[in-house]
Amino acid sequence: MAKVEEKEALPQEDLRDFFREMLLIRRFEEKVEERFRAGELPGFLHVAIGQEAVAVGVCRALDERDVIASTHRAHGHTLARGTPPNALMAELYGKVEGCSHGYGGSMHLYDVARGNLGANAVVGGGLPAIVGAALAFKLRREDRVALAFFGDGATNIGTFHESLNLAQLWGVPAVFVCEDNHWAESTPASQHLPIEDLEQRAVAYGMESIKIDGQDVEAVYRATTRALEHARGGEGPVFLLCETYRLVGHYIGDPQVYRPKDELQRLRETEDPVVKLRERLGLSDQDFEESCARRTRDRDAPRHGRVRHGGGHRRDGRLDGRDAGHAGRVRAGARPEHADLRDGARRRGHRRRDAGHAAGGRGDVRGLPDARVRADR
């Protein structure tokens, strides 16, 4: 395992910026859950509360020309990569003003202009695309890196092994970020992994690897910086293992019967990355806390199905001259092409109701009568 060299601590202002961004992601996902339970958002919803330090630490280290591929738990990565919150929320509502023009939805987000090649509901689905992008960068001799996010469960998938094998064989500038939250949906690592240390997966391919505390945003930032330097310098790909914790269910509505309640409570009290950074910065000053929360809310989600209008929109809902390509007026509902509304995700005979999701539901979602939420891996 490669060790991250100890250096002088980051400036307090940088850490405060990290905190504000982590708090933005936290508040955004809390609002998303609220609107989902109110029945306003279609499809399935997976939030990453507890994993904000990985998203911010990794994305802050990236160059603006680098690219990423995300997972079904993509909101944090997307916000940390620079997508405006209102554009992301509009996407979740299936609106043309969304970052993916209403086609992506929660699990298929993309924002190519900001280097986000896309989230993928298929476990491990983004890994081959990142190897391909990294190979293109190498062949074109471009000073760019391609980075993939994925969970510990994805390390059992064939595309993971194929991707690491080819990346190492070809020596491409790629970084593989494993967000090890210790659960593959409802299955603990002890029941799906024959090894205790996931770094061994990368070592088997002769790949450079770094293991880090994923709840420490500064540690994540430093480790990612080193990994990017290694890959960008032509020394081959890097496997970055971030040990983190999902402080919520696998999906909104997950009863979490597989998880001891005392364990979840303990983790919320001891492993919340937002609280950890706040305490480290000594942010007990109520005025500062309220200021951060207010700034977050101002950039946060639209309410009751309406899109808040920031840059590129007028308050009356019409576009002004600053719009950067999200043409068209705000739609009342989701586009029919929206990924979470396609017929393939629903049983025959149920087109727009949430009663007809394909097999795999784990129980009704509170606040959504007759709704079933699919439990992806």
Q: Are residues 257 and 356 in the same domain?
A: no
Asked whether residue 281 is domain-assigned, the answer is yes
Q: What is the pLDDT of residue 3?
A: 54
Please name the residues in contact with 137: beta carbons below 8 A apart, sequence gap of 6 or more. 144, 145, 146, 172, 173
Q: Which of 246, 265, 298 delimits the end of a domain?
A: 298
Domain final position from 247, 276, 298:
298
Q: Whole-angstrom Cα distance, residue 238 to residue 222? A: 14
Give me 257's structure tokens: 């019967």
DSSP 357: B
Other CB atoms within a 10 A radius of the CB of residue 21 amount to: 21
Structure tokens of 46?
Answer: 């997976």
**Within this chain, do residues 276 and 364 fall inside the same structural domain, yes or no?**
no
Give me the tens of pLDDT residue by residue for the chain, a chain 377 residues long.
555 555 678 999 999 999 999 999 999 999 999 998 998 988 888 899 999 999 999 999 999 999 999 999 999 999 999 999 999 999 999 899 989 988 888 888 989 999 999 999 999 999 999 999 999 999 999 999 999 999 998 999 999 999 999 999 999 999 999 999 887 777 777 778 888 899 999 999 999 999 999 999 999 999 999 999 999 999 999 999 999 998 887 888 778 888 888 888 999 999 999 999 999 999 865 656 676 666 666 655 444 443 333 333 333 333 333 333 333 333 345 555 555 555 444 333 333 333 333 333 333 333 333 333 333 43
Same-domain status, 108 and 230 = yes
pLDDT digit string, tens, across residues 17-37: 999 999 999 999 999 999 989
Q: What percent of the chain has pLDDT over 90?
A: 55
Domain C-terminal end among 298, 314, 329: 298
Are 345 and 294 in the same domain? no
- Residue 291 and residue 346 in one domain: no
Please report, for the domain that includes residue 63, its CATH number. Answer: 3.40.50.970
41 CA to centre of own chain: 18
**Residue 232 forms part of a structural domain:** yes
Segments forming the whole domain that contains residue 354: 339-374
Question: Residue holding tokens 């992008």?
Answer: 133
pLDDT number for residue 79 = 96
